[in-house]
Structure 1
Amino acid sequence: MTDWNNQSPIYLQLADRLGQALLDGTPPEGQAMPSVRVLAAEYGLNPLTVNRALQAMVDAGLLESRRGLGMFVLPQASERLRAAERERFLNSEWPILAAKLRRLGLSPSDLQWSYEEQGQ
């Protein structure tokens, strides 16, 4: 079971989680997404909710529906998603984080930023 919050509709939260998996390469571009039934069972959701999430991803240009075959990840889906996530982060999350860092008196050298420490 997955925890859902009350901040946004569950189908959008699911679309976000599936998008994060796409950024990690799961499934790879050109490959099929898991079926609605599989996703509904995995996340403990109604299949209609899963369908709405997948449709939101189609609308965002990340997936395409192939009649009788399912949903497939479009080429460049991860690049489109990464660009949208970067813009959202820089416009919404970063200003809040930067303000908190200033309030705490933290500088870039205090952060000891390293991709290796994060397993990347």
Structure 2
Amino acid sequence: MQTQVVTIPTGKIMDWETFHDVFDEALGFPGYYGRNMNAWIDCLTYADDPDSGMVANPVANGDLLTLSIVDAADFKQRCPEQFDALIDCAAFVNYRRREVGDGPVLALLIDGNFG
């Protein structure tokens, strides 16, 4: 299993609008991306399906897309609702895939001092 790491510049996230701007820019969601967490989950569920067009640079089948969450402690303090949704929805992407017999596709690399 290999991983493709995409850095998420959380310093640009201030609210839901900027949350979706940052992830859309980093991952290349399709033009019809709904800019809500259900749409976010839908896009990332298919991060290994090049025919779906859900992310600009899909990973190979069986590989992981790793989201490097830069300055996560600051992000969590500034935007606790968005931070919690990110954690919950990333977990749901993999749960959803496992429910249909697929392997996980998404990982989070949490970078930040929570001390």
- TM-score of Structure 1 vs Structure 2, range by shorter chain: 0.3 to 0.5
User: Which protein is richer in helix relative to its size?
Assistant: 1
More contact order relative to length (CA 8 Å, sep ≥ 6): 2
User: Which protein is richer in strand relative to its size?
Assistant: 2
TM-score by length of 2: 0.36
TM-score by length of 1: 0.34
Bigger radius of gyration, 1 or 2?
A: 1
